[in-house]
Structure 1
Amino acid sequence: MAPNSLTERNDERNVQTREETRSNERYIRPAVNIVETEEGLFLTADLPGVAKGDIDVNVEKGILTITAPAKSTLMGTPVYSEFQLGNYYRQFTIPESLDHEKAKADFVNGILTLRIPKAEIAKPRRIEVQIG
């Protein structure tokens, strides 16, 4: 990956990481895909069992945080289960060169889709050379 990539790791950027959580509550790390394009970042996160209104996506000081509580919709008393629902929590360091004000998020069928475009200043431009 290029050293000036939008998705470079914290240790490559020499950025101090911050503590994710002090809570004793258990969190589930949702599966996430992040794709970098010329327009910006495209993120998809798998959040089954979450209601659209309960998702919180926040960007503060270059840290993108996704939190969402999952609730069971099963009727009755569970007799046997091999998985648990819990609160989803995930954080990523993202560059300040993204335009957070123009970010868009959609949530359909348990999949969160987040698009964060690059700021105009960060997009590559061709400079016309004048002759004469």
Structure 2
Amino acid sequence: MFFAPVVRTRAGVPAFRSFDRNFERFVNEAFYGRGPAGAPRLVQDDKAWTVSLDLPGVAREDLSINIEGAVVRIETKAEASRQYKAAYELPQEIDVEATSARLENGVLTLTLAKQQPASKARAIEVK
């Protein structure tokens, strides 16, 4: 048998990496669509984030959603037929009073209102 070593030069390496990234992107889109199955879909506007999750087989009564600062925790109760547990951290705090959640046909849609920064400026009397 005869073995010949293969030497990659620096000139050829970026082309291989580019091909690898493009192939990986193609396979992910072909098999998983826009992302992996069950991945949340996030849409943002000036006032809120809208998060959509596929949760087939989960009842409203079995679902628990907790918001603390900028973190959203979604989980099912222990006796639920399908278990789900996830936490997502957003870049800005969430206004809990203006937030809503809806579960229809196995799709959970959260509308998370952005907390408007309150001004802490105070006027000081000059004496």
Distance 1:34 1:88 in 2: 18
Distance 2:73 2:108 in 1: 13
Q: Conserved in 2, the CA contact under 8 Å of 1:57 and 1:64?
A: yes
Amino acid at match of 1:110: G
Higher relative contact order (CA 8 A, sep 6+): 1
Q: Kindly state the Cα deviation for residue 102 of structure 1 after the two structures are TM-superposed.
A: 1.2
**SS of the residue 1:53 aligns to:** helix
1:49-89 superposed Cα distances (whole Å, 9 cap, x missing partner): 10111111111242211112552xxxxxxxxxxxxxx4111
TM-score by structure 2 length? Answer: 0.54
**SS of the residue 2:56 aligns to:** coil
Equivalent pairs, count:
80
Do the aligned partners of residues 60 and 97 (structure 1) sit closer, same or farther apart at CA in structure 2, a change above 3 Å counting?
closer
Q: Conserved in 2, the CA contact under 8 Å of 1:30 and 1:89?
A: no
Amino acid at match of 1:38: D
Q: Percent sequence identity over matched residues?
A: 31
Q: Which residue of 2 aligns with 1:65?
A: 73
Gaps of 5+ in 1: 1-28, 72-85, 123-132
2:34 paired with 1:34 = no
Q: Kindly state the Cα deviation for residue 98 of structure 1 after the two structures are TM-superposed.
A: 2.7
Q: Kindly state the Cα deviation for residue 40 of structure 1 after the two structures are TM-superposed.
A: 1.1
Q: Which protein has the bigger helix share?
A: 2
**SS of the residue 1:101 aligns to:** strand
Do the aligned partners of residues 67 and 30 (structure 1) sit closer, same or farther apart at CA in structure 2, a change above 3 Å counting?
farther
Q: CA RMSD in A?
A: 2.2
2:101 paired with 1:105 = yes
Distance 2:70 2:93 in 1: 9
**SS of the residue 2:97 aligns to:** helix
Distance 1:60 1:91 in 2: 11
2:124 paired with 1:116 = no
**SS of the residue 1:49 aligns to:** coil
